[in-house]
Amino acid sequence: MSGEVFPVPASVAEAAYVDDAAYRAMYQRSVEDPDGFWGEHGKRLDWIKPYTKVKDTRYAPDVSIKWFEDGTLNVSANCIDRHLATRGDKTAIIFEGDDPNDSRHITYRELHAEVCRFANVLKAHGVKKGDRVTIYLPMIPEAAYAMLACTRVGAIHSIVFAGFSPDSLAGRIEDCASKIVLTADEGLRGGRKVALKANVDAALAKIGGVETVVVVKRTGGAIAMTEGRDVWYHEEAAKVPADCPPEEMNAEDPLFILYTSGSTGKPKGVLHTTGGYLVYASMTHQYVFDYHDGDVYWCTADVGWVTGHSYIVYGPLANGATTLMFEGVPTWPDAGRFWQVVDKHKVNIFYTAPTAIRSLMGAGNDHVTKTSRASLRILGSVGEPINPEAWLWYHNVVGQQRCPIVDTWWQTETGGILITPLPGATALKPGSATRPFFGVQPAVVDAEGKFLEGATEGNLVITDSWPGQMRTIYGDHERFEQTYFSTYKGLYFTGDGCRRDEDGYYWITGRVDDVINVSGHRMGTAEVESALVAHPKVSEAAVVGYPHDIKGQGIYCYVTLMAGEEPTEALKKELKDWVRREIGPIATPDLIQFAPGLPKTRSGKIMRRILRKIAENEFGSLGDTSTLADPAVVTDLIDNRQNLK
Ligand code: WTA
């Protein structure tokens, strides 16, 4: 591992908001006097009624999290209206289509009109404050319009990533009881069409309750429209005015729900609220990326994930930035696409995921070095640990050693970045997310919850609240407490393991629960297992992650077949396709091993620790196997593992 430390480049230090001393001072104040600190920084937003209370949070007993609780505001007004006087003609969104010849600039004034129109369409279809609106849209500007339109009328959006299957979509619509779904005829990615409206139709065939489907025309491909339920967005938009007053919302009114995978059961509806979330998203966007007025900023995530929520839409727009929305994929038409887009739009700040970096690294340096990239100043990484090799390539080849890399650690639950370098303040170590953002108090605990001091390794917890923290699981506060605050009473448990070094830098080592991270996407092993056992030929399944060169982790499935079923290669393919259809392409198993038996304790509990080791090809370190009901099962699995690629 590279032990090198990369100091703050002088060119970055000159213009940066904070240097190391300022970081330390601000951090100190933020944790010693959170009310004073956040009371001040909360003013970065426009409040309709200013707050008088700042922090009111409790992790035990009875978890309750409130920030700015007596203030009122509107998110879309903060992201749009307040910029109109000074930045009306400035580009808010640069849309870069899948096709390299398709791009467009949307000014703040145009954004205002589009969002108002969309809000009026929602209203015309009966959407009111507090209603849930499911959004199943590709990466087109309408996705941002739809989000902001929801916030304008006070509706709660729930975005479902457009790569999820009809089943996954149906489950998410049903859980929050949305009566309306916003979608497109088809999506476009890497030159291929994605059947979104057809997926919505399939989802709605399974569940009731949806009264309206609004369809944005993207490709013009043939789709079915259900009379009385489905309407075209462009037809509805033509009927309504381009002005819509923003609804006055309380700081603690729900802003959005975003479903994410956990170690057990179905995906959870993570709920974020209005005031604290926006303060935190906009503040982190400014400081973490050292965003300055005039910068062109590009985050390559999808709005279907939290990164897209906080760092494509809400953070940047709250700051009056120019944010780039990219519809396509990194490798189409070729592996140089990212860098071509950087040059085309003179991108200054570029934020992507390690999995993309690793796959582009594999495609060779020519794709990168052919381009200029002179506009780049800051690079970012998110979603999974970045291995030092990928970090160094990103730094040396993409950033020409000029651009600091902010390796940002956070989660859907945290709303915004919690552990990260600040470009002007933090010397970098490849692979380390470095230090906590203002107001964030990480700690490392052992399995029993004992605080570990100094340089150490253990489980990562956060000891006190920050404004962007999720408030509950939609409809299930008890599960919220159970999931995040019961492992270590009074502490927020992240589910991640980490190391802290002698300089106090944090190194995230990955999930310590039954969640795996595949290409930066969170996947519950339980979800894949339940998809597998839903197949008629499968009697039992256990799923674990294993190291994968490009994806970070791959999906490894141990499958026990029903008596009499033949373990063939054709069946493996059938099962992979099955999971893909049940959940979505991101859940496609990488390896399937047929297992006549699974290692279990005498009480019947599957010993996943052993399965993980076998999947990792670490047969020598299986640990304690004395509690196994049938040790022969393990020998058998090891023999079979060696026959798999
Ligand atoms: C992982 C994505 C290492 C981590 C914003 C976390 C990371 C999970 C990093 C959350 C990073 C995210 N270094 N690991 N910089 N960023 N993770 O909810 O395991 O999709 O718990 O949020 O991704 O994934 P989520």
Query: How much is the ipTM here?
Result: 1.00
Which atom, in ligand 1's list, is nearest to the CA of 521? Answer: 20
Quote the ligand 1 centre to 206 CA distance (angstroms).
32
Which atom, in ligand 1's list, is nearest to the CA of 515? Answer: 19
Q: Which of 292, 316, 344 is the last residue of a domain?
A: 292
CB atoms within 10 A of CB 217: 16
Task: Judge if the beta carbon of residue 307 lies within 6 A of ligand 1.
Answer: yes
Whether residue 492 contacts residue 410, with contact meaning beta carbons closer than 8 Å, is answered with: no
The answer as to whether 528 is a domain residue is yes
Which atom, in ligand 1's list, is nearest to the CA of 419? Answer: 15
Q: Rounded to two decimals, what is the model's pTM? A: 0.97
The answer as to whether 245 is a domain residue is yes
Look up the CATH number of the domain holding residue 552.
3.30.300.30
The answer as to whether 44 is a domain residue is no
Q: Which residue has the tokens 């870069």?
A: 96
Which atom, in ligand 1's list, is nearest to the CA of 420? Answer: 15
DSSP letters, 392-407, are HHIIIIISTTTS-EEE
Q: What is the pLDDT of residue 645?
A: 61
Q: Which of 227, 261, 292 is the last residue of a domain?
A: 292
Mean pLDDT by 10 residues, the chain (645 residues): 86 96 98 98 98 98 97 99 98 98 98 98 98 98 99 98 97 98 98 98 98 98 98 98 98 98 91 98 98 98 98 99 98 97 98 97 96 98 96 98 98 98 98 98 97 98 98 98 97 98 97 94 95 97 96 97 96 98 96 94 89 91 84 89 75
The answer as to whether 364 is a domain residue is no
Q: What is the pLDDT of residue 63?
A: 98
Look up the CATH number of the domain holding residue 136.
3.40.50.980
For residues 294 and 90, what is the distance between their CA atoms, to the nearest angstrom? 9
How many domains in the chain? 2
- Binding-site entries for ATP: 383-385, 407-412, 496, 511, 522
DSSP letters, 349-386, are EEEE-HHHHHHHHHT-THHHHTS--TT--EEEEESSPP
Quote the ligand 1 centre to 333 CA distance (angstroms).
29
The answer as to whether 592 is a domain residue is yes
Domain that holds residue 206: 112-292
Question: Based on the number of CB atoms within 10 Å of its own CB, is 191 exposed (0-12), middle (13-18) or buried (19 or more)?
Answer: exposed
Task: Judge if the beta carbon of residue 470 lies within 6 A of ligand 1.
Answer: no
Residue 284's Cβ-side half-sphere holds a number of Cα atoms within 13 Å equal to 32
- Binding-site entries for CoA: 189-192, 307, 519, 580
Q: What is the pLDDT of residue 259?
A: 98
Quote the ligand 1 centre to 411 CA distance (angstroms).
5
The answer as to whether 195 is a domain residue is yes
The answer as to whether 340 is a domain residue is no
- Bridge partners (DSSP) of residue 84 are none
For residues 191 and 327, what is the distance between their CA atoms, to the nearest angstrom? 11
Task: Judge if the beta carbon of residue 384 lies within 6 A of ligand 1.
Answer: yes
Quote the ligand 1 centre to 414 CA distance (angstroms).
10
Give me 73's structure tokens. Answer: 């505001």
The answer as to whether 545 is a domain residue is yes
Q: Which of 251, 269, 292 is the last residue of a domain?
A: 292
